[in-house]
Structure 1
């Protein structure tokens, strides 16, 4: 088994670039996964691992083989090298190099005739994206669609904040126009979270094929979504402000749909 002890090693330098730069992740088709739970979820989600690096001061080779259950390239690294690659302050001593997936909306398929979809337009903050993906996983939605993505899905902060749910959800991306066209072609009702021309969210029927669409807290949804909505919906507020965190709003709306479907 190979051992790397220098942070100046050329391969380690390449991995640091994967951690830090979206451009390098997109160019190579590779990204890093940190943590045993996240690696396990990626494997369950059908991701292919190229290499696993581990620090024997934290985790043993036997544990790595058990957690991945794959015949993959194992590299033992020193504490200094591991700390160079690690994104989190508290960690488990293991990092995998994985191959990214295709997230084209044209490839999205459903296993049900009444899919429930969560659409997020132009989310920017990795923490919000991670929280949305955790909500989607908890509700077991049929797909998460990100319109006009501003952030790389394999950003390490998204992986961390989603606690690996970036691997458990069916996620596709596309432009707002492409997504609206896809939803209409598949007869999926579009419910947009917006203040304009809206009704209370719990007055609508979410048992049919449904897409719940949320925008950013700063700007909301684009006019194109509002013009193509089946119905705009709103969560009634009783305080002084008229908006809430996008991941919280998504959770309220998605779980109302789940309640109506009697899946809770």
Structure 2
């Protein structure tokens, strides 16, 4: 057990660097914050490097902290490394999980093309988890999975799914070869989502908040779908649309 009091401590400076994507990618580590996320991390202890606790913070007695290094910090340091306005004072340093998709057959996938908003990314990961999706593939231009807002929005679901970055063209080809139907999403030249056949295996492709799925990728799918708009809104939020389609497509 360690105690750090000064915000000028080199360890504190390193933690602060992890608020940047560059440092996270360099070290393959990231910080999470808050009781719920830390508790989820402790359910996957092999990914937890260290727990960082603000002094006088009471931890749940149900937490299994065996073999987890603990570092206690001052409230000043907590404010330095927090990415929220009102920190709960509980952090965990975690290692990035390496996805392991051993077989492509008979699984459900969510493919994301250039999702820019971290809140949308996290919400879609959380929804995919709830819908029983097996893997999420992050295409080019998609915001960093370990962005703090994305992690908060995912609410720990990134611990439950295989999530990896990849070339969506290659993934669509691989999935179709494996017999997995691939559904794109579009506003024009598409069928109502209710015309799709729910199944035990599928891949759903969602696109950028402003531009949607790229035309190049839409030309590779088996079928492109849209969700009818009955009111005056021009479109649905991409995370809401993903939730509707994921739950409809799964058998």
| Global fold match (TM > 0.5) | yes
Select which of 116, 120, 125 maps to 2:112. Answer: 120
Aligned to 2:72: 76
8 A Cα contact 2:47 2:95, kept in partner: yes
Aligned to 2:31: 32
- What do residues 228-263 of structure 1 show as CA deviations (whole Å, max 9, x unaligned)? 1101111111233442100000011011123xx2xx
Aligned to 1:140: 132
How many pairs does the alignment contain?
Answer: 251
8 A Cα contact 2:183 2:222, kept in partner: yes
Structure 1 residues 31 and 87: CA distance shift in structure 2, 3 A: same
Gaps of 5+ in 1: none
1:45 CA displacement: 4.4
Aligned to 2:187: 195
1:167 CA displacement: 1.8
Gaps of 5+ in 2: none
Tell me if 1:183 matches 2:175: yes
Q: RMSD across aligned C-alpha pairs, in angstroms?
A: 2.0
CA distance in 2, matches of 1:29, 1:121: 23
1:47 CA displacement: 4.7
Task: Pick which of 86-95 and 195-204 moved more.
Answer: 86-95
SS, match of residue 67 in structure 1: coil
Structure 1 outlier segments of 4+, above 4 Å: none
CA distance in 1, matches of 2:116, 2:64: 31
**What TM-score do the two structures reach when normalised by structure 1?**
0.88
CA distance in 1, matches of 2:57, 2:192: 51
Structure 1 residues 145 and 195: CA distance shift in structure 2, 3 A: same
- What do residues 124-153 of structure 1 show as CA deviations (whole Å, max 9, x unaligned)? 110110111121121121111211143221
* 1:31-110 aligned within 5 A: 31-45=30-44, 47-60=46-59, 63=60, 66-103=62-99, 107-109=100-102
